[in-house]
Amino acid sequence: MNETLLKEGERIDDLQCNGLRIIQDPDRFCFGIDAVLLSNYAKASAGDRVLDLGTGTGIIPILMSEKTKAASFTAVEIQEESANMAKRSVELNGLTDKIEILNEDIKNLSELIKKSSYDVVTSNPPYMIDNHGIRGEKDYMTIARHEVLCNLEDIVSAASMALRPGGNFYMIHRPFRLSEIFVMLTKYKLEPKRMRLVYPYVDKEPNMVLIEAKSGGKSRLTVEKPLVVYDSPGVYNKEIYEIYGPEWNKD
């Protein structure tokens, strides 16, 4: 596959990770730092089966295919255009034997996969619950950012259904919804085990939170040290450079 096979308006971006690339449309919803942070935070062991809920253009399974030794990935995306780009990105990277993209609604997941059949579930879900920034209920940006086609409970219940006992769920979300997130996780027997707040600058409030929960786990939460994104405007913190990798920071 090469650039001549791209659809109008699309481009191929170099992920600066051992040659991995991804197809994106700048007029649609492109992946952000939250997806990169989650792909680094999530852990998968050799032989693990990983499920990504709301995969967008497939950025998380594509990066985790290189960052982990997981055996296989299933990625679910409801928007047809995004799922199609994800499938072509998987093909572009020669990962069709490792990553499967499903253009499906996660609310129907129990009809598509076997219960308790995954070791790891990841999700970078829509964060927003109000009407701020909504351009239209069927707009692709709105669907990616707002709880229009799925909500937090849909994500958590799907993760709970898919995970084997002792399996791990990884999610990135907004800190202002932490109380709701913890209630929802415990409702579906996903016990919060790790949490890390992400700050844009050291003197600002956190705007993201990384969470790990375990299916059927015991109650004990570790709050990890803060992750600061920027040292100054346009200058990433050292740890962010390490997360993106040496190829990204080689200049």
Q: What is the pLDDT of residue 16?
A: 87
Domain boundaries, the chain: 3-244
Q: Which amino acid is at 102?
A: L
Tell me how far apart the terminal alpha carbons of the chain are, to the nearest angstrom.
28
**Residue whose entry in the numeric block shows the structure tokens 């990770």:** 17
Mean pLDDT, residues 38-58 taken together: 97
Instruction: Name 178's Cβ contacts closer than 8 Å, sequence gap at least 6.
Output: 209
Q: What is the pLDDT of residue 149?
A: 62
Q: What is the pLDDT of residue 128?
A: 56
Give this prediction's pTM: 0.90
What is the maximal distance between C-alpha atoms in the chain? 53
Q: What is the pLDDT of residue 28?
A: 79
Integer Cα distance of 179 and 134 in angstroms: 24
* Low-confidence winner among 22-31, 189-198, 211-220, 228-237 (lowest mean pLDDT): 22-31
| Domain at 3-244, CATH from 3.40.50.960, 3.40.50.150, 3.40.50.2300, 3.90.79.10 | 3.40.50.150
Please write the tens of the pLDDT for every residue from 132-164: 444 445 555 544 454 456 799 999 999 999 999
